[in-house]
Amino acid sequence: MAPQTPVTLVVCMGSSCFSRGNNSNLVFVQNFLKERGLEDSVQLVGSRCEGECLHGPNLRVNGKLINGAMPELLPDILEAELKAALGTE
């Protein structure tokens, strides 16, 4: 059952984060949500900049900033953060 208010997952698409990996992270996140049936529970949005360019690529899950979301770390980050945000731990 989807929560009443969806979890918000923000992918920074500013030039620094985009070039550091969020260009491919966005596609991965979309597929991750689709494969797990979370598209209705997680609102995926992009931002121009999260103001943490030196620490990117950056994501935000329900306001929690996640720095260094490198593509190889993304599966574990999403599993942990979305479980916590959705209350499915």
Q: Look at residue 3 in the predicted model and tell me its pLDDT.
A: 43
Closest CA to 54 of 23, 22, 16: 16
How many domains are contained in the chain?
Answer: 1
Closest CA to 77 of 25, 15, 8: 25
Q: Look at residue 1 in the predicted model and tell me its pLDDT.
A: 47
Could you list the pLDDT tens digit for every one of the 89 residues in the chain? 444 578 999 999 999 999 999 999 999 999 999 999 999 999 999 999 999 999 999 999 999 999 999 999 999 999 999 999 998 86
Q: Is residue 72 included in any domain, yes or no?
A: no
Q: For residues 12 and 4, what is the distance between their CA atoms, to the nearest angstrom? A: 25
Closest CA to 70 of 62, 82, 78: 78
Q: Is residue 87 included in any domain, yes or no?
A: no
**CATH number of the CATH domain containing 37:** 3.40.30.10
Q: Look at residue 89 in the predicted model and tell me its pLDDT.
A: 63
Q: For residues 72 and 18, what is the distance between their CA atoms, to the nearest angstrom? A: 15
